[in-house]
Structure 1
Amino acid sequence: MALDNQDLLFASLMGSRAVSLIQNVNILNGQLRKHVLPVIPFLPLKNDNNVSDVPGKAININDNWTTPNAVNEDEQFFPLSFSFKENSVRWVFPYEPMIDFGSGNNIVKRNVAKQGEKLIGTIKERWNRKDFDITVTGVLIGSIMQGKPEDCFPKDQFIKLFEFLKHSKELFIYCHPLELAGITKVVVEDYRFPFTKGENVQAFELKLTSDYSYELLIKEDF
């Protein structure tokens, strides 16, 4: 399936692995159109005016491509938000990111010598669940595409996100698919802000791990 200019822009921001996802979303959108449902907005850009091609001409918000400062939480399909404390003030990601998460089991296996026909494979003695590994990939977008860094770069969004990333304790996370899996707290393992095309765009990739509360000391009454 061919990609249009907007798809190519998103792929350049998010990396080559996003191409297959874009194609899948395009197929989904085609099916949704048959049922007269609204098309899913994959990258919220709008082009209200033409960019001047006159060299040296100052570019401002009146004669430049603009983007919304943020997409409202109720307009996002699976909004993602962080908070430092449980049920405290949340920071909602301004644009809905892509979220991948998975887990598994730690299994202790034993090989039994001289196995018979009825005893095949290993003996599974015990197992426990692994942490969830969560990858969040998205972009921060400034309101003006070209100009001075203080006008174009999404500084406020970047600073707010970085406050959470450098936090030395667990973070509370809110997203519907994660809540269904029982994930309400995470710790930040790694984060990257790769080079991103566009003066007003900054991509990010976060590596998170689920966290849970445990009572390590059990008080017994004698």
Structure 2
Amino acid sequence: MEFNNNSVFSSLLNSNLIRLVENEVSERVTPILDKQQLQNIPDEIYQGRDCEAVELWMNDKSKSENAQFFPLSLKCSIDKGEWFLLPWEPLISIQGNIRQNQALPAQHIGTIKDRRLVDDYEITISGAFYGKKIKGSYSETYPRRDMEKLRNYLMASEAIEVKCELLQILNINKIAISGMSFPFTKGESVQAYQITAKSDHVWDLNYKRPQKRTLEVGTPEGEFERSTE
């Protein structure tokens, strides 16, 4: 019996086996690029801009309030009521605890929570300041101005007003500084800081004596009969 190769191959063209082989080849074999398409692509050469040697050592510029995701601003009386925006967005961590008065019931499992109070929020602010230049003298690299401004806020003997979307969601508008640290940071132009604080609220502690109530009596009108007894 003679077999015709052409007839056998043509019978397999529409079979599932041939389709499977074609799919595998199309996925694993790199397609051939058309030379005509490559010739039509114009040659582009990147032209670097001329810059001075000083610009090569300049640090990144600080971001504005609109460019930050959760900007944090501070305000107290030392700055005459002006907000101090931290130039580089810090990391803010908030922790809150619930106080519960618990009672142990007799012959029952668990405890009775008769009252719940929210403690002060514990806030941790971690960030860093960056100088104008990466390399250079101390006055050119170290962020001294930002550090001095932050120091004045940390040493203020008053509650500090804060403006941050994350804090305002939790009704935190003022904080009381409880601690600070300035860890070692690699780099001449970088100074890291970490601030720990607690949420603060305004309380009116002035005792106001309640006013005594007075009974107002009107003037009698008309005639009254007097008893003869």
TM-score using structure 2 length:
0.65
Compare CA radii of gyration and give the structure with the larger one: 2
Given candidates 169, 176, 185, the residue that maps to 1:196 is: 185
Distance in 2, matches of 1:217 and 1:157, equals 38
* Matched letter for residue 98 of structure 2: N
Counterparts of 1:145-164 in structure 2, within 5 Å, are: 145-164=134-153
Distance in 1, matches of 2:161 and 2:143, equals 24
Given candidates 170, 173, 181, the residue that maps to 1:181 is: 170
Q: What's the secondary structure of 2:55's corresponding residue?
A: coil
- Partner residue of 1:100? 93
Task: In structure 2, list runs of 5 or more residues that go unmatched.
Answer: 1-48, 213-229
Task: Work out whether 1:76 is the aligned partner of 2:68.
Answer: yes
Given candidates 60, 83, 94, the residue that maps to 1:90 is: 83
Q: What's the secondary structure of 1:163's corresponding residue?
A: helix
Deviation of 1:215 after TM superposition, in Å, equals 2.5
Task: Specify whether residues 122 and 49 from structure 1 end up closer, same or farther in structure 2 by C-alpha distance, changes over 3 A only.
Answer: farther
Task: Work out whether 1:111 is the aligned partner of 2:108.
Answer: no
Query: Whose relative contact order is higher, 1 or 2, with alpha carbons under 8 Å and at least 6 apart?
Result: 1
* Matched letter for residue 74 of structure 1: N
Deviation of 1:111 after TM superposition, in Å, equals 1.4
Distance in 2, matches of 1:128 and 1:218, equals 24
Q: What's the secondary structure of 2:167's corresponding residue?
A: helix
Question: Over aligned residues, Cα RMSD in angstroms?
Answer: 2.4
Deviation of 1:217 after TM superposition, in Å, equals 4.3
* Matched letter for residue 61 of structure 1: V
Distance in 2, matches of 1:179 and 1:63, equals 40
Distance in 2, matches of 1:78 and 1:106, equals 29
Identity of aligned residues (%): 29
Task: Specify whether residues 78 and 49 from structure 1 end up closer, same or farther in structure 2 by C-alpha distance, changes over 3 A only.
Answer: farther
User: Retained in 1: the 8 A contact 2:142–2:190?
Assistant: yes
TM-score using structure 1 length:
0.67
User: Retained in 2: the 8 A contact 1:196–1:202?
Assistant: yes
Distance in 1, matches of 2:50 and 2:151, equals 32
Q: What's the secondary structure of 1:75's corresponding residue?
A: coil
Task: In structure 1, list runs of 5 or more residues that go unmatched.
Answer: 1-47, 51-59
Deviation of 1:125 after TM superposition, in Å, equals 2.8
- Partner residue of 1:167? 156
User: Retained in 2: the 8 A contact 1:49–1:63?
Assistant: no
User: Retained in 2: the 8 A contact 1:49–1:65?
Assistant: no
Task: Work out whether 1:205 is the aligned partner of 2:194.
Answer: yes
Runs of 4+ more than 2 Å apart: 60-63, 215-222
Distance in 2, matches of 1:135 and 1:197, equals 22
Deviation of 1:65 after TM superposition, in Å, equals 4.2
